[in-house]
Amino acid sequence: MCREHGVLEALCTKCNPKLAVVFQAKGDWCAEHGFPESICPQCHPERGGKPAVDVSIDEAPADGTLVILKTKEAARLAGIETTQALPAEGRAELTVPVVIAYDPTRVAQVNARSPGVVKRLHADIGTRVAAGDPLAEIESTAVTADQSQLAAAQARVRVTEENFRREAELEKRGISARKEVLAAEQAYREALADLNALKGSLKIMGAAGSGGRYTLKAPFAGIVTRRSASLDEYVETQPSLFEIVDTSTMWAELALPEKDLGRVTTGMPVVITLGALQGQQFRGTISYIAPLVDPRTRTAQARVRLDNPEGLLRANMYGEARITVGGAQALSEVPRDAVQRAKSVNLVFVRLAENEFEARRVEMGPRSVSGETVQLASGVQPGEEIVVAGSFFLKTETLGDAIGAGCCEVEQN
């Protein structure tokens, strides 16, 4: 955007007066304010200085679409500038969309172990917990029954142990027979086994404390992402009361096009960039490729495990993944401004004649170090004359209802 005048910089007739002739010729002109009528910020403030049609969501023109300006002078007046695509070399890469997700093996749904009333909450949404930290205390009649069973089992162990020791002492004095000692020992061992089994069951049930209460504890370290329990609320064993997520590792889920599945295998290196974390890269290798193709998208899901020690990665972040799929590859290097985005397609306009331009769908290659240029894996050959300034204007001309339509001819090849 042109901050000074409040319209798209590529269409600002204040900054580029030569464009005024183009819009005046097609009858799209506000003489009062000196802007194209269709984007005049005074006449149409609701458009925000942009074309009425959002070109970012329109269908991209077909590969090879020709844009022919009505006169050779029109190209100069529109401020179109070109440069040559340069040769470059890089490794063959495949660029695919990626979405960040939780590692499902590190997501825990913590349920009430038995029905009861929530008497205390130790954690809320956003709380970081360590393994074994308390989450909530629940008062339950089941715990009272468990404690009664435990007390009875402990009493039985004490009685059978005392009886076993007494019979062993009597045997030493010659009063008790060996079989009575063995029977007492067997009874003691059975009581002890029953007690240990009951303790194990109560430990699994999460029983702790006294007074008919038990404590829910975190199974591992992580962040509480959901809490459905409330104080003094009666809860059942379903649904879960807490969700805990360990975000120290995350998954990157890649959508591999069906046509490229033969080029991708597990173990291939991947570089991931995310729209929300500009300037940062996350690296990993493909650990899994799904054995099926989605019938709607015609893609197969691949997975990359990413370390996330600082917590920068968050579920549902969107970006792109570049997969190294081969050895050295001949590429073309062009200025970043030469590449236009139309929906999910990257476009470059190649100059064929003084007033004739061709839209090319291009595949992005590895980005250059400078950040001012990009590498193209297909669509443009080194030495071809590509449009740098004015490429946005040409893109809008390929859209029937877009600004600028009518000052040139568009032909679909």
Kindly write down the DSSP assignment for every residue of 323-367, as one continuous string.
Answer: EEEEEEEEEEEEEGGG-EEETTEEEEEEEEETTEEEEEEEEEEEE
Co-location of 363 and 233 in the same domain: no
Count Cβ neighbours within 10 Å for each residue of 31-69 and write b for 16 or more, e otherwise.
Answer: eeeebbbbbbbeebeeeebbbebebeebebbeeebbbbb
Asked whether residue 124 falls in the same domain as residue 232, the answer is yes
Q: Are residues 348 and 407 in the same domain?
A: yes
Task: Quickly list DSSP for 131-161.
Answer: TT-EEEEEE-HHHHHHHHHHHHHHHHHHHHH
Q: What is the pTM of this model?
A: 0.51
Specify whether 117 is located in the same domain as 192: no
Question: Cis omega before residue 239 (within 30°)?
Answer: yes
User: What's the average model confidence in pLDDT over 199-224?
Assistant: 70
Domain co-membership, 15 together with 124: no
Residues 271, 293, single domain; the answer is yes
**Cα–chain-centroid distance for residue 297?**
18
Domain containing residue 197: 141-211
For residues 223 and 310, membership in a common domain is answered with: no
In this predicted structure, the answer to whether residue 56 has a pLDDT above a threshold of 50 is no
User: Mean pLDDT throughout 366-378?
Assistant: 68
Q: Are residues 183 and 149 in the same domain?
A: yes
Q: How many domains does the chain have?
A: 5
Closest CA relative to residue 163, chosen from 189, 134, 132, 196 = 189
Answer yes or no: is pLDDT of 205 > 50. no
**Same domain for 131 and 151?**
no
Please say which residue of 154, 188, 211 terminates a domain. 211
Give 369's pLDDT tier (boundaries 50, 70, 90). Answer: very low
pLDDT given at position 42: 84
Strand 318-335 and strand 269-274: pairing?
antiparallel
Report the first-to-last Cα separation within the chain, whole angstroms: 32
Could you tell me how far CA 123 lies from the centroid of its own chain?
Answer: 26
Confidence of residue 101 (pLDDT cuts 50, 70, 90): very high
Q: What angle do CA 37, 42, 45 make, to 5 degrees?
A: 95
Which H or E run includes 199? helix 178-204
What average pLDDT does range 320-330 have in this prediction?
77
The pLDDT of residue 120 is above 80: yes
Mean pLDDT calculated for residue range 153-181: 83
251/306 same-domain check: yes
pLDDT of residue 222: 92
268-323: per-residue pLDDT in tens? 999 998 888 877 889 999 999 999 998 888 899 999 999 998 889 999 999 888 88
Q: Any idea which residue has 């194990």 for tokens?
A: 200
CATH number of the domain encompassing residue 176: 1.10.287
Q: What is the CATH number of the domain that holds 403?
A: 2.40.420.20
Instruction: Report d(CA 23, CA 30) in Å as an integer.
Output: 10
Same domain, yes or no, for 145 and 205?
Answer: yes
For a pLDDT cut of 70, what percent of the chain falls above it? 81
